[in-house]
Amino acid sequence: MSENNFTKHLKVPFTAEELDCFKNQLSEGITELQNAESEKKDVTTSLNAKIEAAKSSITHINNKIRDKCEYRMVKCEAINLDFEKNTKDIVRTDTREIIETIELTETDRQLNLISDKIENALEEEFKDDTEISTKVEK
């Protein structure tokens, strides 16, 4: 190149084709940005949910350690039916600890009546056997 021919950085207007190309690139860039922001939001939501689940689990376990116990369904049974006091004891079957004494129910009282009837019937049944065995012994 001679001294008379050289290049210089100057303002050049874009052609219609170049402007159309830039418009397409801009549109694609905007779409890509929106997709990335949406993906970020989804990932953030998902991670926040995982964080909250972990916090909840930690709190639940921490409470168990702090309280040193929890409530569970435990098998129990009624014992010591006292028809004179009209009470029965409720016992845990795992520890045999009496956890409460409650009033007998109508069903419990019916059992006492049935038990008495059976006992009376058996006494009558064996009363004859006792009389026979007493006579045999003489």
Q: Is there a single domain that holds both residue 95 and residue 116? A: yes
How much is the pLDDT for 118? 79
Percent of the chain at pLDDT > 90 equals 69
Phi, psi dihedrals of residue 114, rounded to the nearest 5°: -65, -45
* DSSP 8-class letter at 68: S
Query: Domain check: are 80 and 106 in the same one?
Result: yes
80 pLDDT exceeds 80?
yes
pTM of the shown model: 0.49
For 66-70, what is the mean pLDDT? Answer: 96
Q: Do the beta carbons of residue 79 and residue 91 sit within 8 Å?
A: yes
- pLDDT greater than 60 at residue 133: no
For 45-63, write each residue's pLDDT tens digit: 999 999 999 999 999 999 9
CA distance 39 to 117: 79
Flag whether 3 is in a domain. no
Residues 84 and 125 in one domain: yes
Does 42 lie in the same domain as 25?
A: yes
Owning domain of residue 85: 76-137
